[in-house]
Amino acid sequence: MDRSEFKRVRKKLDKTQKQMAQLLGVSLKAVHSYEQGWRAIPPAVERHLYFLVSRQVLPDAHQPCWEMKDCPPSRKAQCPAVEFKSGNLCWLVNGTLCSGADQGTWEDKMAICRNCPVFTSHITP
């Protein structure tokens, strides 16, 4: 996540920088730094932001990822998104098997998720 996306998500949530700092459990200075590009946005903050914006949409209004992506039963049996009944939050759960294997780091996972219809149906305006 870069500074412009951080700011876009904050505005989508209709929060001031101070309110965003409170929601994320960070200082106001940290939010300023994220938006100015002076400080990298930590994965935990990025994850929290995406979760908050995803909750603006009714969670039941989305098809689970395993249906949307037509996952084979063998993959579903091993996927944490299925185990934790998080088919509309699969992007939030580490260790999902979207491409047939665990994606590794949060950054690697999000590189895949940003192009996935499950993620974009929750996050994009």
Cα separation, 72 vs 108, in Å, equals 23
CA dist 3 → 32, 56, 113, 123 (Å)? 10, 21, 18, 16
Q: What is the mean pLDDT of residues 74-96?
A: 85
Task: Yes or no: say if 6 and 41 are a contact pair by the CB < 8 Å rule.
Answer: yes
Domain-wise residue ranges, the chain? 3-54, 59-123
Q: What is the pTM of this model?
A: 0.69
The reported pLDDT for the residue numbered 23 is 86
Question: Tokens 């098809």, residue?
Answer: 63
User: Can you give the C-alpha Rg of the chain in angstroms?
Assistant: 15
State pLDDT tens for residues 28-84.
Answer: 999 999 999 999 999 999 989 988 887 776 555 678 888 888 889 988 888 888 888
Q: Which residues contact 77 (CB under 8 A, 6 or more apart)?
A: none
Residue 38: partners with Cβ closer than 8 Å, 6 or more residues away: 32
Query: pLDDT at position 40, please?
Result: 95
Tokens (6 digits) for 64: 């689970």
Q: Residue 123's pLDDT band (boundaries 50, 70, 90)?
A: confident
DSSP helix/strand/coil, 17: helix
Q: Is 70 left (phi over 0), alpha (psi -120 to 50) or beta?
A: left
The CATH architecture to which 3-54 belongs is Orthogonal Bundle (1.10)
The one-character DSSP state at 42 is P
